[in-house]
Structure 1
Amino acid sequence: MDTIMKIWLFYGILSAILMVTLLILLNTNKLFVHSFYRIISMDILLNLLCWINTWPNRIVYRMDTADFVLFIYENAHFLLDFSTILGVAFFHIQSLSAIMICVHRLTTACFENANRFWSRWYILIYTLIVIFSCTASALMKFPSALYDYETGAFVEGVLPHMTFSISYIMLFLDSNVRMVLKDSVVPRTFSRIYNVRVSNSNAMQNTS
């Protein structure tokens, strides 16, 4: 085990222990009954699961763990693909979770019954977030790890970047999208001023 792996394990395990401790504290102590702590608990739990899911991708291309990963590759290859999908899904989950924390603080400050609402529905909300994120990630195409038996090492599959960017390129080709972008970047007021100046300039040229 090299130095990098030891560092990963050291701070990772300490962080995991801290997160588990906070989860137990927030959900057992009577002081933390507000719905805000339920939201924070869900966020901590999802971050803990995200950290656990990073390990397959951390060890798959390392020579000192190739034998262990090879066993999974040959007997349960779907686990590696599933871990890749989850890795992308957790990007969405963490972003949406951060948004939910902000929405919670805003709603509880503005509405009297917001705390009751969040206490009742926070599990459903986070369940929908997980389902949406996993479904969106599952629809994407990802490169699959391949094992080269000649070199005895895993090789990362190649996937053209065009697969990821083609949808955005097609959007820019749409005339309606270009029009909206133009209106957003160049405010209408400036466009009107520009058109008036052009009209005045043309009128002066015609007069002369």
Structure 2
Amino acid sequence: MAHTGVSDPIADYIAALSARLRGPSSAKADLLAEARDGLDDAAEAYAAAGHPDPRGRAVAEFGDLTCLARAYQAELGVAEGARALKSVLVAVPVMHALWQTNQLVWIGSWSEYGGPVPEWYRAVADVNDWIGWVVMGLAGLALLAGRLLSRRGVETRRLGRAAGFLGAAGSFVLLLNLVVLLTATASLDMSRLLMPLPCLAVGAGMFIVHGRILVLAHRSLKFTAG
């Protein structure tokens, strides 16, 4: 139902709500659309009942803006945390596949690249391989647990902070894992870091991707703070 007045209470309410929310644009748009639809439906009902200001009445009955913004912000925090965890699920196998492909084409066996290596370096390389899969598995379990806990009525803000913390921890471990491998490689033989350009590009991509996931997780914690 169109509003013909100078100021539309529903539009003003939605604009004020939007200004208070931070988070993924698609999730934010969905929440705002949900609020707008609810207000429009209420306004239509009040208009049908003959209320002199149906849209103003709908806004007055909809609830306190601050409380609604807090609840919606918690949902956006969960969405951002889930986004970070899902990114881990995608990034680990994709980056692993890219690295293995380039390694096979340009290097061969990493532990033998540049000559035989001591056992301690083999151990570091092996740990580097399986840590990513462990983190990916934990991210998947965290997403599943989050859905189950949400259905059991666990507070949204707590779920958002948990997702953000786990996403940050996972991305930090993945970054640290890369740093440890690079440090071990440099300690063994600095020349081993002079890899073919495609391999260097994939290595740099790993740092960028995991750093991006860390940013997403930090946002989730920031969005659910307070």
Relative to the length of structure 2, the TM-score reads 0.34
Q: Which has the larger radius of gyration?
A: 1
Which protein has greater RCO, CA pairs closer than 8 Å, 6+ apart?
Answer: 2
